[in-house]
Amino acid sequence: MLQGCVLKNTFAKNEGPSMGLWQTLPGQNVSRILARASVDWVMVDCEHGNIDDAAMHEAVPAIASCGVSPIVRIPDMQGWMIKRALDAGAHGILVPLLRSAEEAKRIVSAAKFPPQGQRGLGSPFAMERFHAAPSMTEYLQHANESLLTMVQIETQEALDAVEEIAAVPGVDVLFVGPFDLGNNIGYPILDGVMQPELERAIDRILAATNQAGKKCAFFATSGEQARIYADKGFHMISAALDTTLLQAALGQSLSAARGQQAPKAGGRY
């Protein structure tokens, strides 16, 4: 396996949930601040974050240089997007809005070199995101087993087929996106309140993932919620997001300066 795959190694040790952070603001300094917060991984959000292809190519090496796994959420499941993220040196990709096992199979194919898939070889950058840096030949030989392929379960169609999706070879992580999942099954999260029907859907995803021997991840909006889902048995949890942390911290500091009651700590989620 490629050296320095922190998240993959954490999964292998199976010593508890892997905690990470979410990056939506561009900039290498933001990446490093997040990566140095004693986490295993940082999610570079190219779907909803203010991060384009060039900013992603800066974030990935910055995170990796701190000894943390850079994971990239791509905007869509198109094969070229998967290629760009992995060629930048990401230790894994997260694909949003999955709907079927067939889509999951196409994603795996785009993320793997032949014979398991159809990924092309040629990036001069990917090897430098591992420690010690492999040769291109070593990267080719070990990337398929080392890099993580993650899919988000956040549509009604994916929930209906979650057992089949979890069983797809090459899918490593099923990532619960609670907001879109709630929207798509008719039980949206409003004012931070999760309905029992959404909770049951999330429990089903976790059960299907465990049955398939894969890993299940959850996007939490606070440290307190992250702890709850860690106790439920989730293997990978996003504990905070850069933008909402900044919003909350500014609100608390300014409120204290003005002698006012501090706002809710969860930012705008």
For 48-91, the three-class secondary structure string (H helix, E strand, C coil) is CCCCCHHHHHHHHHHHHHCCCEEEEECCCCCHHHHHHHHHCCCC
Q: At what angle do helices 79-87 and 101-111 cross, to 10 degrees?
A: 40
- Which residue in the list 48, 57, 131, 235 is annotated as catalytic? 48
User: Is 57 a catalytic site residue?
Assistant: no
The answer to whether 154 touches 77, Cβ cutoff 8 Å, is: no
Buried residues in 72-86 as b, exposed as e (16+ CB within 10 A): bbbbebebebbbbbb
Q: pLDDT tens, position by position, for the chain (269 residues)?
A: 899 999 999 999 998 899 999 999 999 999 999 999 999 999 999 999 999 999 999 999 999 999 999 999 999 999 999 999 999 999 999 999 999 999 999 999 999 999 999 999 999 999 999 998 999 999 999 999 999 999 999 999 999 999 999 999 999 999 999 999 999 999 999 999 999 999 999 999 999 999 999 999 999 999 999 999 999 999 999 999 999 999 999 999 999 999 998 876 654 55
Cis peptide before 132 (omega within 30 of 0): yes
| Residue 115, preceding peptide bond in cis (omega within 30° of 0) | yes
Q: Specify the long-range contacts of residues 36-39, CB closer than 8 Å, at least 24 apart.
A: 36/66, 39/68, 39/239
Q: What is the pLDDT of residue 266?
A: 55
Cα distance between residue 72 and residue 179, in whole Å: 19
